[in-house]
Amino acid sequence: MPIEITMPALSPTMTEGTLAKWVKKEGDSVKAGQVIAEIETDKATMEVEAVDEGVIGKIIIPAGTENVKVNAVIALLLEDGEDKKALEGWKPKEQPKAAQSSEFGVQSSGNASVAPVATSVEKAPVVAQIASKAPAAPAAAALNSELRTPNSTSGRTKASPLAKRIAAADGIDLSAVMGTGPGGRIIRADVENAKRSGGGRSGVVSRNPQEFFQVPHSGMRKVIARRLLESKQTVPHFYLTVECEMDALLTMRTQLNDHAAKKAGKDGKPVKLSVNDLVIKATALALRDKPSCNVSWYDDAMVQYSNVDISVAVATDGGLITPILRNADQKSLSALSTEMKDLAARARENKLKPEEFQGGGFSISNLGMYGVKNFQAIINPPQACILAVGASEEVVKMRDGAFKVVNVMQLTLSVDHRAVDGALGAELLQLIKMYIEQPVLMLV
């Protein structure tokens, strides 16, 4: 049976093109890598290289034909030993529908036997699906191995004659060039791309042959995705931001840590307070003073909590988890710090008990240690609020008629407007700010 030469896809969005010119005519012998035709699109003019060896038995689409659909048969190639009689049994199939671009940016084709090569240097070529007898819809893994196979693994370099000549002239090492032709064959466009990317005598740019790999979703990641999507779709968020001056708090933290160093904890090590510990305490006291913000929204009623239980976001390898500090308003700073360190350590080891991360009435997420100054956190349903804590930074402010360097930190409160109104959320945020800027009140 003759081999069908089909209209190649020259870009992920191409559905049709113009068969501008036939370089070979009926009866001409062709070898793999030889240019047989030229294709035009609105973006580039491309040379088409033969993939298989044989004789042009019949040209189906004449030169100059416009609007030729991708995957349409444009010519028939007779294999070795075949003659014109082999064409008698061939019948044209129904014209293919416009090729669909996949999420990987590759066109799917039938029995394609040509490889497109860019002839316009200023226009970058696009990978097209050109593997002979390729499946209609290649899977991601097959696509990766089929189109991105390194040329050095087989012991020889697979390249078209034209690509070899250009590479030799420009001093390009073909073993370091990734081929986009059938079976990983290097074509002219690949060599020209390597040259533009510095792959000539000036150096070689290598590319990882594995273009991508899939990471299966863990159960934890699926739960996180479902809950965050639910939150953003069903909870009417609004956001409030305040700026807190941190100098008094940082001074008190230094004094407390110096004192703790002199008086070791139960394990023989001093309890070292972090800024996060102090923010947790300030938030817990503010919720104690403003219990109407310590709530959750349900369709039939709003639940107001009698205890201040704060969920603190902890990053783990599997995703985010929020262990709970229960009765945080009643615990000392050292007790909160010790408990938080223990919960965070066991969270990263996946050793938390369900009751240690399920529940809670309010959440805190701190990205300040990563240098993030300000962000808006997503509410953790059914809770009504979450506090996003940014990094502390030095700024210059006017104080008593003189400029002074002040440490400031931004806090952003995300609020469920169904449960907490704007003014109520602002009052809570002002209370948190008060405890942070006057930290001695946390010790009363």
C-alpha distance across the termini of the chain, in Å: 92
Tokens 């779709």 found at:
233
Considering the candidates 217, 237, 259, 417, report the single residue annotated as catalytic: 417
Say how far apart CA 38 and CA 18 lie, in whole Å: 9
Known catalytic residue at 237: no
Q: What is the rounded distance in angstroms from the CA atom of residue 182 to the CA atom of residue 146?
A: 8
The rounded distance, in Å, linking the Cα atoms of 385 and 388 is 10
Quick check: 199 and 173 in contact, CB under 8 A?
yes
In angstroms, the CA 42 to CA 40 distance is: 7
* Total residues belonging to the chain: 444
- For 278, phi and psi rounded to 5 degrees? -70, -35
Instruction: Please give the Cα distance from 305 to 292 (Å, whole number).
Output: 9
> In Å, how far from its chain's centre is CA 57?
48
E strand or H helix that includes residue 234? helix 219-234
E strand residue ranges, 251-309: 295-297, 302-304
Structure tokens at 178: 């990734």
CA distance 197 to 43: 21
Nearest residue to 147 via CA among 108, 92, 195: 108
- Give the residue carrying structure tokens 């294709």: 39
Rounded to 5°, the CA angle 386-379-295 comes to 65
Beta pairing class for 16-22 and 65-69: antiparallel
Which contiguous run of DSSP H or E holds residue 240?
A: strand 237-245
Residue type at 250 in one-letter notation: L
* Catalytic residue list: 417
